[in-house]
Structure 1
């Protein structure tokens, strides 16, 4: 898919998508999609990642079909990669569409690594901001796990 990229200057995800900030946190990038570790991580589910379009889209129903296909394709790769990167036994995939309290209105898909007896539940009250060094390490592990296999 090749299309004009739409961005919003005060959207952090747009700034990352346009390589204006936090490029070192990007675990994967194509022309249209990128992956970053989530800022807030569950202590029992390390490696929570976000799959996002480069273009600023606020509603899942506004995502063009070819871009939606790529988002889902990349999300599927991440569900496999979190097993290699973090030793997860599975994953939970979610997408929020303008929910109350949502901080950034830029379409993104959550991939949350799951572990035996992780006590995962939604909504989660134990989300804590992960320090940058932890997110960098998680981006590196995921980046390595996302490399094509020979």
Structure 2
């Protein structure tokens, strides 16, 4: 996509601190890191959200995410990681190109669990919601 900052990084039009790359996936340090080593893992192909990603590429992007986490663990001695995807504008996705955030976590860093991100408890009972989900046309 012509105006996508991540596509420009993939094409080499914008510099980045690349840390890992395959034929179809690239990982680089976030320009506005929330922690030392905060990295992004993106497909080189422009897709906006996870459901647009082909299954084979979905497997590869998570393999690369795992590798990046291993690299950050070894190099930065991180205690843990938060892995996150803001999948769509309503989820806080600021750049409309799928990206996985890999955030190294350290004891005492003041970070909170991912459950602290959203506070929107359902109005329906959990079993009723599960029933709706199972009835979808794409359910296994």
* Structure 1 and Structure 2 fold alike (TM over 0.5): yes
Q: How many residues align?
A: 113
Aligned equivalents of 2:87, 2:61: Cα separation in 1: 15
Does the 8 Å CA contact 2:65/2:102 hold for their aligned counterparts?
yes
Q: Is the 8 A contact 2:69 2:102 kept in 1?
A: yes
Taking the aligned partners of 2:9 and 2:95, their CA distance within structure 1 comes to 13
Q: Which residue of the partner structure matches residue 13 of structure 1?
A: 6
Q: Which residue of 1 aligns with 2:25?
A: 33
Report which of the two structures shows the higher radius of gyration computed on alpha carbons. Answer: 2
Task: Give the alignment of 1:103-118 within 5 angstroms.
Answer: 103-118=94-109
- When the two structures are superposed, what TM-score results if normalisation uses the length of structure 1? 0.70
Aligned-pair CA distance for 1:81: 1.2
How far apart, in 2, do the equivalents of 1:71 and 1:46 lie? 22
Give the match for residue 146 of structure 1.
none
**RMSD value over aligned CA atoms?**
1.4
Unmatched runs of 5 consecutive residues or more in structure 2: 118-140
Structure 1: state its 5+ residue gaps.
1-7, 124-150
Counterpart in the other structure of 1:126:
none
The alignment partner of 2:89 has SS state of coil
Q: Within 5 A, what are the aligned runs for 1:21-100? A: 21-23=14-16, 25-42=17-34, 45-100=35-90
Corresponding residue number in structure 2 for 1:134: none
Q: In structure 2, what is the Cα distance between the partners aligned to 1:117 and 1:87? A: 14
- Compare relative contact order (CA 8 Å, sep 6+) and give the higher one, 1 or 2: 1
In structure 2, distance between residues paired with 1:82 and 1:33: 17
Q: TM-score, normalised by structure 2?
A: 0.75
For the residues of structure 2 that align with 1:78 and 1:28, how far apart are their CA atoms? 7
**How far off is 1:30 after superposition?**
1.2
